[in-house]
């Protein structure tokens, strides 16, 4: 996945976010099924990164039947591969990507106090990581940088 400049990306929200995710999936050769739509809409409804179990519970409520976490995991893995979701590795949790039309590396600021997770874009940092990996003979497929600490609310 190549990093591209972020100066002109669009942050989608609400129905536009669901539409952008659907469009990205279809453009990537995938179907936008009812189950995938339910998983994405549930994921997008969380303010914080959500686990597959949290999402499975919400989808189960939405559909009125039990949906297994392993089904949700498979869909989330697909979403990550198609850039419509991002995985916060240290929390084994997921966020909807507000700009799935923009390929980029994941940089997260994760609060150890309240769990708030902020996604930031920094092409200089991302490109530097990729260059260092390349110089070491390593091909960086999907760099993820997580910075752990305390948000301004938890520091006060």
Residue 81 has pLDDT above 70, yes or no: yes
Residue 63 has pLDDT above 50, yes or no: yes
Q: Is 110 in contact with 91 (CB distance < 8 Å)?
A: yes
Q: Is 145 in contact with 107 (CB distance < 8 Å)?
A: yes
Residue 5 has pLDDT above 60, yes or no: no
**What is the predicted pLDDT for the residue at 1?**
38
**What is the predicted pLDDT for the residue at 13?**
56
Q: Cα angle at 124 between 87 and 143, to 5 degrees?
A: 25
Digit-coded pLDDT (tens) for 98-120: 888 776 677 889 999 998 888 88
pLDDT category of residue 148 using cuts at 50, 70 and 90? very high
Question: For 80, how many CA atoms within 13 A lie in the half-sphere containing its CB?
Answer: 21
**What is the predicted pLDDT for the residue at 8?**
45
Mean of pLDDT over the chain: 87
156 or 41: which leads in pLDDT: 41
Residue 69 has pLDDT above 80, yes or no: yes
Residue 131 has pLDDT above 50, yes or no: yes
**What is the predicted pLDDT for the residue at 151?**
93
Residue 4 has pLDDT above 70, yes or no: no
The domains found in the chain, sorted by start residue, are 14-96 (1.10.10.10), 106-155 (3.30.1490.190)
């Amino acid at each position: 996945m190549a990093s591209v400049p972020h100066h002109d990306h669009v942050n989608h929200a609400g129905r536009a976010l669901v539409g952008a995710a659907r469009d990205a999936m279809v453009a990537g050769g995938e179907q936008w099924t009812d189950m995938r739509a339910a998983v994405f809409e549930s994921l997008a409804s969380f303010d914080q990164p959500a686990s597959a179990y949290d999402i499975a519970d919400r989808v189960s409520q939405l559909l009125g039947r039990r949906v297994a976490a392993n089904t949700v995991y498979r869909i989330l893995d697909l979403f990550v591969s198609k850039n419509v979701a991002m995985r916060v590795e240290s929390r084994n949790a997921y966020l909807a990507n507000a700009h799935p039309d923009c390929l980029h590396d994941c940089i997260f600021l994760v609060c150890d106090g309240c769990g708030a997770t902020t996604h930031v874009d920094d092409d200089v940092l991302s490109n530097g990581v990729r260059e260092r990996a390349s110089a070491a003979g390593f091909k960086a497929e999907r760099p993820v940088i997580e910075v752990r600490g305390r948000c301004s609310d938890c520091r006060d």
